[in-house]
Homo-oligomer: A and B are copies of this chain.
Amino acid sequence: VITIGLDAGGSAIKGVRLEGERIAAELRRPHHGVDLIGLIVAAAAELSTPDVEAVGVGLAGLVRHPGGEFVWGPHLPLFNVETRPILEEKLALPVAVDNDANLAALAESRMGVARDRSHVLVLSFGSGIGGGLILGGRVYRGTSFAGEVGHMRLTEAGDLCACGNRGCWETLVSGSVLDRAARRILDRNATGEDLVAAADRGDAEAIAALAEAGRWLGIGVANLVAVLDPELVVVGGAAAQAGEWLLEPARMAMRENLRSDGHRPLPRVVRAGLGPIAAAIGAAILAGEEYSGDNDGDE
């Protein structure tokens, strides 16, 4: 089956054409929050060939599946938009729409590091933490919006979150948290990547900042393991780029926070396999699963 997958994030649309498991074409188009639907349609047209059977679209925010209503998201200029019927009309193809983190998880479970695993937690670190849950081999969405793991509250202190609360997981570890640490430790234009480079050079303060963020990564993962008992935890985005500076402290904190569980094996915590186009790949996979009759990709 040949499908197109598109992922509309806060600053760019990424897209792939997927032929079976082969990425036959790929694009990336920055956007400025204007006419997002138009840009999605243009990106699909650019990737299209006559044999494309369906299009999948990932959106950063609260999306109702399978209806495709984009309810709300802080990074996209959409609010209560019925995206799926609009896109199906403009593209004249079946369209599947889902939350981007769900799609990254689907992609890792079908073509990435979580292939053939039944119960997988996939975390995508950017300005916040997106969570995708593969439970029983399928994307778990709950009533609509499961996987909003970044808003688990882990401490009573902590910085104010975009959601209005304090102590949310994503205020303690995320791409933005690493960027802020970089600005504090290095200079005001530094980013999380610079922080990792500084750690690689042996900068003790950078190493400590990554370890502290990693500790919070591990505490949040421990909570999710207690609740969901996945076989595998997959970490993507900024946290994957930070690599072992973040992941090793995270694994330690996870073990430390699941003490009673000397009685059970803990899941491995690994880096994502598909990189920044994971959600676009997942969108193409979802479109294929929903419109080719293989498997509905839903739970």
Interface residues of A, Cβ cutoff 8 Å to B: 62, 71-72, 119, 131, 133, 135-136, 140-149, 151-157, 162-165, 219, 222-224, 226-231, 256-261, 263-265, 267, 299
What separation, in Å, do the CA atoms of A154 and B153 have in the docked complex? 7
Using A143-B231, A151-B258 as known contacts, list a sample of 12 further A-B pairs with CB atoms less than 8 Å apart, ordered by residue number in A. A71-B263, A136-B136, A145-B229, A149-B226, A151-B260, A152-B152, A152-B227, A155-B156, A163-B260, A164-B260, A165-B259, A227-B228
This chain: how many copies in the complex?
A: 2
Q: Are A146 and B229 in contact (CB under 8 A)?
A: yes
- CB contacts (< 8 Å) of A147 on chain B: these are 227, 229
Offer 19 A-B interface pairs, CB within 8 angstroms, sorted by A. A71-B263, A72-B260, A135-B142, A136-B136, A143-B265, A145-B264, A146-B227, A146-B228, A149-B227, A151-B226, A152-B226, A153-B219, A153-B222, A153-B257, A156-B156, A163-B260, A164-B259, A165-B257, A223-B223
Q: Are B146 and A140 in contact (CB under 8 A)?
A: no
- CB contacts (< 8 Å) of A155 on chain B: these are 155-156
- CB contacts (< 8 Å) of A72 on chain B: these are 260, 263
Contact of A228 among B142, B157, B261 (CB under 8 A): B142
Evaluate whether A131 and B227 lie within 8 angstroms (CB atoms) in the complex, with A62-B264, A136-B136 already known: yes
- A250 CB → nearest B CB, Å: 14
- CB contacts (< 8 Å) of A259 on chain B: these are 163-165
For A262, give the chain B residue with the smallest CB separation: B72
Q: Are A119 and B136 in contact (CB under 8 A)?
A: no
What separation, in Å, do the CA atoms of A299 and B219 have in the docked complex? 27
- A12 CB → nearest B CB, Å: 23
- CB contacts (< 8 Å) of A231 on chain B: these are 143
Q: Are B264 and A229 in contact (CB under 8 A)?
A: no
Residue in A140, A146, A226 with the greatest tally of chain B CB atoms within 10 Å: A226
Q: Are B154 and A142 in contact (CB under 8 A)?
A: no
What separation, in Å, do the CA atoms of A261 and B227 have in the docked complex? 21
For A258, give the chain B residue with the smallest CB separation: B151
What separation, in Å, do the CA atoms of A145 and B226 have in the docked complex? 8
What separation, in Å, do the CA atoms of A144 and B118 have in the docked complex? 12
